[in-house]
């Protein structure tokens, strides 16, 4: 396998950590900007509500945290020697799939199954 799993996971972790830091700052900014406000943003015709924006950013923060957990799990699979092995069928996960998604747990064939 010519794909460098450690480098791929390192890069993904760096990008995810940067995204999480930015999103956390955005979320804290939204909360701070509205903490002393009694504005009725639910009826503001100018666009999306503050509550909606806070919810969207909160969801993106949780997604980034989940991605970091998946990276940690992939590193554990590396340590255990089963990185790149499909958790469903036991076959190899293709190098192209691992390059595109270093945290992949299943091969493409198994990922396409909805069972």
The SS3 call for residue 107 is coil
pLDDT of residue 46: 56
Q: Could you give the CA distance from residue 34 to residue 27 in angstroms, rounded to a whole number?
A: 11
pLDDT of residue 110: 95
pLDDT of residue 33: 63
Write down the pTM of the prediction: 0.77
pLDDT at residue 43 greater than cutoff 80: no
pLDDT at residue 83 greater than cutoff 80: yes
Q: Which residues pair with 92 in a beta bridge?
A: 85
pLDDT of residue 111: 92
Q: Could you give the CA distance from residue 77 to residue 85 in angstroms, rounded to a whole number?
A: 9
Q: What percent of the chain has pLDDT over 70?
A: 77
Which of these ranges, 31-40, 70-79, 98-107, has the smallest mean pLDDT?
31-40
Q: Could you give the CA distance from residue 65 to residue 75 in angstroms, rounded to a whole number?
A: 15
User: Where do the domains of the chain lie?
Assistant: 5-82
Query: Taking a C-beta distance cutoff of 8 angstroms, is the pair 91, 113 a contact?
Result: no
């Amino acid at each position: 396998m010519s794909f460098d799993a450690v480098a791929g996971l390192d890069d993904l972790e760096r990008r995810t950590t940067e995204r999480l830091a930015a999103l956390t700052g955005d979320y804290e900014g939204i909360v701070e900007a509205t903490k002393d406000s009694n504005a009725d943003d639910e009826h503001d015709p100018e666009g999306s509500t503050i509550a909606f924006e806070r919810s969207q950013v909160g969801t993106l923060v949780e997604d980034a945290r989940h991605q970091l957990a998946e990276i940690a799990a992939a590193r554990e699979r590396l340590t255990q020697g089963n990185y790149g092995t499909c958790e469903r069928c036991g076959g190899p996960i293709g190098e192209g799939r691992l390059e595109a998604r270093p945290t992949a747990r299943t091969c493409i064939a198994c990922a396409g199954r909805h069972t």
